[in-house]
A and B are shown apart, each in its own frame.
Chain A
Amino acid sequence: MIVRYLLAALVAGLFSGVLMTAAQEARVVPLILHAEQFEGGDEAAPATEGATPTTEGAAATHEHSSLGAVLLDMASSLSPVSVAYAHDGEDHEEGGIMFGMSRFSGTLLANLVTGAGFALLLAGFSLVSGHPITVANGALWGAAGWLAVHMLPAIGLPPELPGFPAADLTQRQIWWIAAVVLSAAGLYLLFLKPGIVAKIAGLVLIAAPQVYGAPQPSDISSAVPAVLGAEFAVAALATTLFFWIVLGLSLGFANEKIAKAA
């Protein structure tokens, strides 16, 4: 039975990861590619060479509702020529995409892993707290997951485009993990625990990382246009909300299926 519950979460997570990849390719990835054109200005030859096919794609897809442009962009990202990710000013160890996959396959794989991971975390939270996720309440569970993992941490650290100024990576990651954990605990107290004391404690936990403050960069100038950043922040939050609602619903559905099959 234990394994069945883990499998239900895996199925829901992989399914949501696939849908999330489609949403990302349509709404988010074109903005990332566009921003990379501004990142670092004149880069080394291999980077520009790799960026050439995407340059046309990104320029065309910037009207990102055009279906043809999205298809064109997906076709170019399916090509085995991987784009160089060299970010200027950083001494990277030798990187590159795993197993020599295309950029799109790498993103798909990462979305599958992330989807399965978030599904397991959501299922684990539900199992430990003893509140089952069903089809009826799945969307609300998903929305709460989105609040804890994306919306509330984004108040301190908004989704960043490549080339955006940012504080030290380790410090930001520590703040981000703390914000996610405290927000999740706060939402649990706020929504699932009765009593006014629990509600107040929940609000205090949610506010704590924001009051403490996220690490901010000292210099906020960037070569990436602000309009791209604004579009990206909205697109990232909207696609992750879509992901979490699909995840909550499909996890509820999978839970009910395995409970019936038991």
Chain B
Amino acid sequence: MPDLGKGFPDACTEVVMAVSNTSSITLSASDRLIAGVLALLLGGFLVFGAGLANSAVLHDTAHDTRHSYGFPCH
């Protein structure tokens, strides 16, 4: 399946812009899925590290944030 999200020649730009006015997703379905899964994994990792990880240094640094966001703490 050709990669529709990359390498548009200049002539195609207007078409893409017209599409993006109705929907901000201009990715092909498979690229969209890859981007989505990557974002979920990376986001989960960051939230886990800041909010839940059982490390004293991480806990102390993020202490006030953990309480403010209502993460289970202590």
A interface residue numbers (CB < 8 A to B): 1-2, 5-6, 9, 24, 28-29, 32, 85, 87, 90, 92-98, 101, 103, 106-107, 109-111, 113-114, 116-130, 132-134, 149-150, 153-154, 157-162, 166, 169, 172-173, 175-177, 236-237, 239-240, 252, 255-256, 258-260, 262
Given contacts A5-B39, A124-B40, contact A255 B74 (CB under 8 A): no
Query: What are 19 sample pairs from A and B whose C-beta atoms fall under 8 A apart?
Result: A1-B31, A2-B38, A32-B64, A93-B56, A97-B61, A98-B61, A103-B64, A106-B64, A109-B62, A111-B65, A118-B43, A119-B43, A121-B43, A123-B39, A150-B70, A158-B70, A159-B69, A162-B67, A260-B20
Given contacts A1-B26, A114-B47, contact A6 B42 (CB under 8 A): yes
On whether the beta carbons of B23 and A95 are closer than 8 Å, the reply is no
For B47, the closest partner residue in chain A by CB is A117
- Per the bound structure, the CA–CA distance linking A175 and B67 in Å amounts to 17
Q: How large is the interface on B (under 10, 10 to 19, 20 to 34, 35 or more residues)?
A: 35 or more
Q: With A107-B63, A114-B65, A166-B72 given, name 8 new contacts (CB 8 A).
A: A2-B34, A90-B74, A118-B43, A118-B47, A130-B32, A160-B72, A162-B67, A262-B26
On whether the beta carbons of A114 and B24 are closer than 8 Å, the reply is no
- Chain A hits for B51, CB < 8 A: 114, 117
Mask, B41-74, CB within 8 Å of A = 1, is 1111111111110101111111111111111111
B interface residue numbers (CB < 8 A to A): 5-6, 8, 16-17, 20, 23-27, 31-52, 54, 56-74
Given contacts A2-B31, A6-B38, A123-B39, contact A96 B60 (CB under 8 A): yes
On whether the beta carbons of B59 and A95 are closer than 8 Å, the reply is yes
- Chain A hits for B35, CB < 8 A: 1-2, 5-6, 124, 127
- Per the bound structure, the CA–CA distance linking A92 and B60 in Å amounts to 11
Interface centre among A2, A9, A85, A157 (most CB of B within 10 A): A2
For B23, the closest partner residue in chain A by CB is A132
- Per the bound structure, the CA–CA distance linking A236 and B72 in Å amounts to 13
- Chain B hits for A94, CB < 8 A: 56
On whether the beta carbons of A173 and B20 are closer than 8 Å, the reply is no
Interface centre among B8, B52, B72 (most CB of A within 10 A): B72
On whether the beta carbons of A120 and B25 are closer than 8 Å, the reply is no
On whether the beta carbons of B69 and A240 are closer than 8 Å, the reply is yes
For B46, the closest partner residue in chain A by CB is A117
On whether the beta carbons of A24 and B63 are closer than 8 Å, the reply is no
On whether the beta carbons of B36 and A124 are closer than 8 Å, the reply is yes
